[in-house]
Structure 1
Amino acid sequence: MNYLSAENISKNFGERWLFQDLNFGISRGEKIALVGQNGSGKTSLLNILAGKFPADSGSVSIRKGITVGYLAQNPEFDETLTVLDTLFSGDLPMVKAFKEYEEAMLSHDVDRQTDAITQMDALQAWDYESKVQQILGKLGIVDLDKVVSQLSGGQRKRVAMARILIEEPDLLIFDEPTNHLDLDTIEWLEGTLSSQNITLLLVSHDRYFLDRVCNVIVELDRGKAFSYKGNYAYFLEKKAEREAIEASEIDKAKNTYRKELEWMRRQPKARGTKAQYRIDAFQEIDKKAHSAVEKSSLELNVKMSRQGSKIIEIEGLNKSYGEKTLVKDFSYVFKKKDRIGIIGKNGVGKSTFLNLLTQVIKPDSGIVEKGETIVFGYYTQSDLEFREDQRVIDIIKEIAEVVTVGTGETISASQFLNHFLFDPKKQYTLVSKLSGGEKRRLQLMKVLIRNPNFLILDEPTNDLDITTLNVLEDFLLNFGGCLLLVSHDRYFMDTLVENLFLFEGEGNIRNFNGNYTDYREWLKENESGQNQKSSGKTQEVVNLDQTSKIQQPPAAAKRKLSFKEQKEHETLGTDIQKLENRKKDLTDLLNKGEGNYEELEAWAKEIEQINENLDEKELRWLELEELI
């Protein structure tokens, strides 16, 4: 059964077409992910399909009787309503009955409470009530009498999502549903959407979420929609095949175009004297041959400031706001190339900790001592700040006219913007006209342009497209400084971090050796163990450098290699084999004795260096092999 159909829809934005004559459909039970680069028109397409604004041409039709729930990136509400009124503003009998029940329970009117319970009984709504309570609990919505105007952006998003899930529409349209959710909530939402018979269209950059929830991937690329039946991993495979076929067809068209162009030039100029069918065919070939759009790729290539031996030393750190303790007696000494992820529910103090570390706010007690050479790069969750009259290039020129890149070369601010996919035309666009993802990309530029050696990234994956995330991951994998990462993107965390700070609430911060998947597996293995919170027992361990103490859950006897360690293990095996081969070749040359004195000496020195490298690499390979 077809729920929604869009025929020949087009949308123009500024001076360019986001898409033209696009056809799109959603059938019952499909879970469709819409993917594409920032600025390709994903959010605009969702708004058109959800009826929030019209297309410039074409039509959208929704099957009669089908209800649609739309979760926008930035939901809008009546600011004067309470959370309770906002959540239960629908006309469904169940929704009305539950709202009356909640209000009655908050009142002291016994007769009203009795009537509300009777109505719940009549509708057999107690299972529904249980489901609603679960939704509110999982999304952390507790202050039902709070006015919407007092909510943060993240709280608004969760209220909007709760309202949709409570109303149970036939078709869900979600724009970046995982933004502003903590990891536990994302996993709950993932399970809810994948296990139920739900029809869903969503935009998300969370690759684990896409892989586990969606059964159709639609890519919006150069104004066209390409559909793939399967999950995200299948899409990547088939997309590569499609692009290879497309490139081959364009190459063939170019060859044919050159031949036909010669024919067009040789023939008489009067159109009537030429075969019209061949002229028409030439125009089609011309269009095909020039259809290849140069796909620019994001280049993250910035110079890292020199880093001394002292990074950051934290001792006895404490921070509270009123009666709420966010950091309690925390100590840690950062080491070179530390790659640490931060995990915890919303509101437990993650952002406060980052602000303490960067000395944006002062602790109640304790010391944060920063090394003299440390240069912070701090990417925050807050929106990009700009004036209404500012253009893209103005934002960068405020910081620097020239930028030093990783090779040591200096480039202009305009060239630096080109590396971040802002072409010369885009550079003079007003910042207010950029998409959410483009603004985030510009914000990332502001961080990297200062050549930091200690990167702090607070939810860097929000609103960035998957292509940009892949490039950012590669850059961070090779980044030589320290990395401190807060992210709800589990794939991102698994790829980049080797250690976790677990924010458990009440100021307690625990240290875990491993990435996010390691941590989840450890939790599963220890579910039947003693509840550490109720017992109040903690195990204290001393860091390897013996300079700081930190609370840590008991480590599992064995742990899996992190993503980076797996890659390192594979690379080491290849490197060792190459070194062994080179050593054999050099030994053969020395044994033959055919070289002159300088060559023999150089070969002998190279063998000595290879032996040192082999010892180092083999030792590391054995360490990783033991973990396997």
Structure 2
Amino acid sequence: INKEIRTGFLEQEPKLIAGQSIMENVFSGNTPVLQAIGAYEQCLEAMEEDHSPAHAARLEEAHAQMDALEAWDYEQKIRLILSKLDIHHLDQPVETLSGGQAKRVALAKMLIQEPDLLILDEPTNHLDVAMIEWLEEYIGTRDMTMLVVTHDRYFLDSVCNQIIELEDGKLFNYSGNFSDFLEKKAHREAVEAAELDKARNLYRRELEWVRRMPKARTTKSKSRLDAFDTLSEKASGKGPEEQLKLEVKMNRIGGKILEMVKVRKAFGSLVITDGFTYTFKKGERVGIVGKNGVGKSTFLNMIMGMEHADSGKIQAGETIVFGYFSQEPLRVADDKRVIDVVKDIAEFIPMADGSKLSASQLLTRFLFAPETQYTFVTKLSGGEKRRLQLMTILIRNPNFLILDEPTNDLDILTLSILEQFLLDYTGCLMIVSHDRYFMDKLVDHLFVFEGDGLISDFTGNYTEYRQAADKQNKEDKKKVTAPKPKQAAEAVKKKRSFKENREMEMLEKDIAALEQEKQNIEQQLSSPTGDHQAIGALSERLMSVSNELDEKSMRWLELAELE
């Protein structure tokens, strides 16, 4: 990479600067504009807590530096990024952040720095769907080169114009997005399969010749032997990639599945559910959507009995066997080998076709090579650990699968096989996922967490839900902006009294005076005099004037509705 190219790298598990706040991490770039904005934001935070002359002086200096660097537009862009990624309380120490919060802070930092080359490792992990869709739109407006590793296929479709595939130590380059890649990869594999088949047929014929060849070798026969060696190497090549096989047996499911009656759960002022009632039926395929922090995982934990509801009833049928693929990583002892994890559950596992497989055979089907099966679990990659975790759940033969962000750390091949297994799965299925492609393919309806304990049931997949929501939003805007019919408006209008007319006249004068005062204060603040006490007093007066102006304007609008 050219040394003049500014590079930004978002790691899958980013490491923030310990001992610093969110603000200090976000604004830790070395550009003068970033440093000026960081200093200005810190001064604002300090002034909110203490209007001392010292803080006012620092704010004045920071304000002047922002003016000098023309940094105000840039600051607004930063505020937008932080807001869209749900990053608030900028003075919070980074040590107190969860893994998801830390990832969002690191992503915000990369976007704010605007490098020439941005490298993103699983950027959509820990983002809710609204954040991902905003990120796609934002990236589309920036002039930068981006290299992204992700399992999110809709994200790849949206932001990429070139796909590089790494397979068996080889790189394959495809122009276009992910959909184009699938088509071109299938064509490449078909050509390679045909060439491999042709090479193997020719190899068999040449092998017969080698066996019949006389001991005395001519120059021509030696040349043919050299060609045979090359052909032998080509014929022994790998065919289409080996695929993971999911064929475990499912326990019988009875008439009663799961019943939730008037379930309420809250943590202080955060209400997760408020009187939620639902009776699950056989073969249900439910997706759960909502913003981060709205309580989706808590909802799943209540179903699993890992979290108690404050009130209401949650009751599962006698035949129900839950399989819960949670976000929590697989926890095993450091000295545990891969094969021992499976043997601890069962030595032999029944398959859907009635056969039984040993632990080793099943691991092989889950793409764990024999040499990998005897390695320690701690040596596995993040994706291998997730695959092993998924395997330990499926071999218990669940008939009600609950998947909480199942696509995290799974490669696209494993994901596609898991999707096919779930499409054929006849039990109940409940999914929380930010992967829109995964949700669209598998769910029939959605539980939409609206906030404040409200959960609505939408028939359809995620894309259909977004289309319906966008349509409703457009209709709502039309209703707000559409003028009311004259006759209907006249029918509901009331006449203003003499007293109300006088009040309206006074309000108009007051509003004009307040607007003028607000403008004067803003001009004074934009041209500081150096009097720190005066700046503090002006700031307080500006807040008071703005509040009074809002109140009087609202009252004027109320009176204006009258005739």
| TM-score grouping bracket, smaller chain normalisation | 0.7 to 0.9
Residue in structure 1 matched with residue 419 of structure 2 by the alignment? 473
| Larger Rg over CA atoms | 2
Q: Is the 8 A contact 2:189 2:240 kept in 1?
A: no
Q: Is the 8 A contact 1:312 1:370 kept in 2?
A: yes
Residue in structure 1 matched with residue 42 of structure 2 by the alignment? 103
Provide the C-alpha distance between the structure 2 equivalents of 1:264 and 1:273, rounded to a whole number of angstroms: 15
Q: Is the 8 A contact 1:473 1:492 kept in 2?
A: yes
Aligned amino acid, residue 383 of structure 1: P
Aligned amino acid, residue 96 of structure 1: Q
Change (3 A) 1:286 1:124: same
Change (3 A) 1:271 1:222: farther
Change (3 A) 1:319 1:325: same
Aligned amino acid, residue 12 of structure 2: Q
Deviation at 1:529, TM superposition (A): 4.4
Residues 1:79 and 2:18 are matched in the alignment = yes
Residue in structure 2 matched with residue 305 of structure 1 by the alignment? 251
Q: Is the 8 A contact 2:447 2:457 kept in 1?
A: yes
Aligned amino acid, residue 409 of structure 2: D
Provide the C-alpha distance between the structure 2 equivalents of 1:429 and 1:201, rounded to a whole number of angstroms: 32
Provide the C-alpha distance between the structure 2 equivalents of 1:300 and 1:153, rounded to a whole number of angstroms: 31
Residues 1:288 and 2:227 are matched in the alignment = no
Cα deviation digits, residues 436-456 of structure 1 (max 9, x gap): 111111111111111111110
Residue in structure 2 matched with residue 131 of structure 1 by the alignment? 77
Q: Which has the higher strand share?
A: 1
Indicate the SS of the match to 1:236: helix
Residues 1:335 and 2:250 are matched in the alignment = no
Deviation at 1:226, TM superposition (A): 0.5
Provide the C-alpha distance between the structure 1 equivalents of 2:305 and 2:429, rounded to a whole number of angstroms: 17
Residue in structure 1 matched with residue 324 of structure 2 by the alignment? 378
Aligned amino acid, residue 481 of structure 1: G
Deviation at 1:256, TM superposition (A): 3.2
Q: Which has the higher helix share?
A: 2
Indicate the SS of the match to 1:509: strand
Residues 1:227 and 2:173 are matched in the alignment = yes
Cα deviation digits, residues 211-230 of structure 1 (max 9, x gap): 11111011111110010111
Residues 1:91 and 2:27 are matched in the alignment = no
Aligned amino acid, residue 518 of structure 1: E
Aligned amino acid, residue 333 of structure 2: R
Residue in structure 1 matched with residue 192 of structure 2 by the alignment? 246
Indicate the SS of the match to 2:276: strand
Change (3 A) 1:435 1:114: same
Provide the C-alpha distance between the structure 2 equivalents of 1:375 and 1:271, rounded to a whole number of angstroms: 70
Deviation at 1:386, TM superposition (A): 1.7
Residue in structure 2 matched with residue 212 of structure 1 by the alignment? 158
Residue in structure 1 matched with residue 270 of structure 2 by the alignment? 324
Provide the C-alpha distance between the structure 2 equivalents of 1:179 and 1:342, rounded to a whole number of angstroms: 16
Correspondences of 1:412-451 after superposition (within 5 Å) = 412-451=358-397
Q: 2:123 aligns with which of 142, 160, 177?
A: 177
Deviation at 1:85, TM superposition (A): 1.2
Aligned amino acid, residue 95 of structure 1: L
Give 5+ residue unaligned stretches, structure 1.
1-61, 535-628
Q: Is the 8 A contact 2:321 2:399 kept in 1?
A: yes
Deviation at 1:325, TM superposition (A): 1.8
Residue in structure 2 matched with residue 625 of structure 1 by the alignment? none
Q: 2:428 aligns with which of 475, 479, 482?
A: 482
Residues 1:161 and 2:107 are matched in the alignment = yes
Deviation at 1:283, TM superposition (A): 2.9
Q: Is the 8 A contact 1:82 1:144 kept in 2?
A: yes
Change (3 A) 1:270 1:189: farther
Q: 1:518 aligns with which of 453, 459, 464?
A: 464
Q: State the identity as a percent.
A: 55
Change (3 A) 1:79 1:64: closer
Aligned amino acid, residue 234 of structure 1: D
Provide the C-alpha distance between the structure 2 equivalents of 1:278 and 1:158, rounded to a whole number of angstroms: 62
Residue in structure 1 matched with residue 6 of structure 2 by the alignment? 67
Change (3 A) 1:265 1:112: same
Deviation at 1:272, TM superposition (A): 9.4
Q: Is the 8 A contact 1:267 1:274 kept in 2?
A: no
Provide the C-alpha distance between the structure 2 equivalents of 1:139 and 1:264, rounded to a whole number of angstroms: 67
Residue in structure 2 matched with residue 121 of structure 1 by the alignment? 67
Change (3 A) 1:124 1:289: same
Provide the C-alpha distance between the structure 1 equivalents of 2:427 and 2:356, rounded to a whole number of angstroms: 21
Provide the C-alpha distance between the structure 1 equivalents of 2:252 and 2:220, rounded to a whole number of angstroms: 69
- The alignment covers a number of residue pairs equal to 471
More moved, 85-94 vs 289-298: 289-298
Please give the TM-score of this superposition, normalised by the length of structure 1. Answer: 0.72
Provide the C-alpha distance between the structure 1 equivalents of 2:237 and 2:143, rounded to a whole number of angstroms: 40
Provide the C-alpha distance between the structure 1 equivalents of 2:455 and 2:216, rounded to a whole number of angstroms: 82
Indicate the SS of the match to 1:527: helix
Deviation at 1:478, TM superposition (A): 1.6
Aligned amino acid, residue 40 of structure 2: Y
Provide the C-alpha distance between the structure 2 equivalents of 1:251 and 1:368, rounded to a whole number of angstroms: 57
Give 5+ residue unaligned stretches, structure 2.
48-54, 481-563
Change (3 A) 1:262 1:113: same
Please give the TM-score of this superposition, normalised by the length of structure 2. Answer: 0.80
Change (3 A) 1:270 1:179: farther
Q: 2:296 aligns with which of 350, 361, 381?
A: 350
Cα deviation digits, residues 503-548 of structure 1 (max 9, x gap): 12222211111110111011111113459xx9xxxxxxxxxxxxxx
